Amino acid sequence: MASSPRLAWNRAKFLGAAQDAAAWPRPQGAEVALAGRSNVGKSSLLNALAGNSRLARVSKAPGCTRGLLFFQVSPGLTLVDLPGYGFARRSKAERDSWREGIEEYIEGRPNLRLILVVLDARLGPTELDRDLLEYLAHRQVPSLAVLGKADQLQPSRRRTHLESLGKLFPQGHPSKEHPRDLFVLSSKTGEGVVALRARLEALAGS
């Protein structure tokens, strides 16, 4: 079997933001979406993957991302930052609209290959994270859990969170047809970044 192509991650570029399907870029190559709570570190993860601290805007104020943000790594791979969930200061109607837009993307995007569910290592999976993981399993959408901000955890707490995540999906996956794995990652120290890049490169080459 031929090896997966190495991508020029440092050439990743921002394609644009879109709040509705009519404005989404034309499907091209594989797409990998990043999902997670507001302010969980999705932008930092994008920047770490690209090796570019300015690719995605990192904000300390949660709930800033309202539309879907598209970043092209190569013609074969685009990363999509989905609006964060769990931010209570927006109106219920706005939050419902965001949820509907995300579901429309997840259920209707033909070239979506994987959802990265970004979790805060300091908290472990929250109820909202569990809801998302259950939704993806129900819709049979391939997903990969990323335990971010790992540098802020003591080894004992890391083990505890990993065990709790393991109970969410015994044997590492919700079904044989739609496996789910777990990556431990730190955007600050670079832990896990190379391994995650390799996984995404495999998707781009498939």
What tens digit of pLDDT does each residue of 45-84 get? 999 999 999 999 875 544 455 689 999 999 999 999 998 8
pLDDT given for residue 1 in this prediction: 42
Confidence band of 88 (pLDDT split at 50, 70, 90): low
pLDDT given for residue 185 in this prediction: 86
CA gap 198, 181 in Å, rounded: 14
Domain locations in the chain as residue ranges:
9-205
Six-digit token string for 199: 């996984």
The predicted model gives 95-117 an average pLDDT of 85
The predicted model gives 154-178 an average pLDDT of 61
Element holding 155 (H helix, E strand): helix 155-168
CA gap 205, 135 in Å, rounded: 27
The C-alpha angle with vertex 57 and arms to 51 and 58, in degrees rounded to 5, equals 90
CA gap 36, 132 in Å, rounded: 9
The predicted model gives 20-45 an average pLDDT of 92
Report the amino acid identity of residue 159: R
Is the per-residue pLDDT at 118 higher than 90? yes
Residues 90-95: contacts with CB within 8 Å, 24+ apart? 90/63
Confidence band of 90 (pLDDT split at 50, 70, 90): low
Structure-model confidence comparison of residues 70 and 162, the more confident one: 70
How far is CA 8 from its chain centroid?
20
Is the per-residue pLDDT at 171 higher than 50? no
The dihedral through the CA atoms of 56, 125, 88, 95 has a sign that is: positive
Structure-model confidence comparison of residues 6 and 107, the more confident one: 107
Contact between residue 122 and residue 147 where contact means Cβ atoms under 8 Å apart: no
Is the per-residue pLDDT at 166 higher than 70? no
Is the per-residue pLDDT at 174 higher than 60? no
The predicted model gives 79-105 an average pLDDT of 75
Residue 132, CA distances (Å) to 10, 21, 45, 70, 117 in order: 30, 21, 19, 21, 8
pLDDT given for residue 173 in this prediction: 45
CATH, domain 9-205, list 3.40.630.30, 3.40.50.2300, 3.50.50.60, 3.40.50.300: 3.40.50.300
The predicted model gives 19-27 an average pLDDT of 90
CA gap 98, 80 in Å, rounded: 15
The predicted model gives 146-163 an average pLDDT of 77
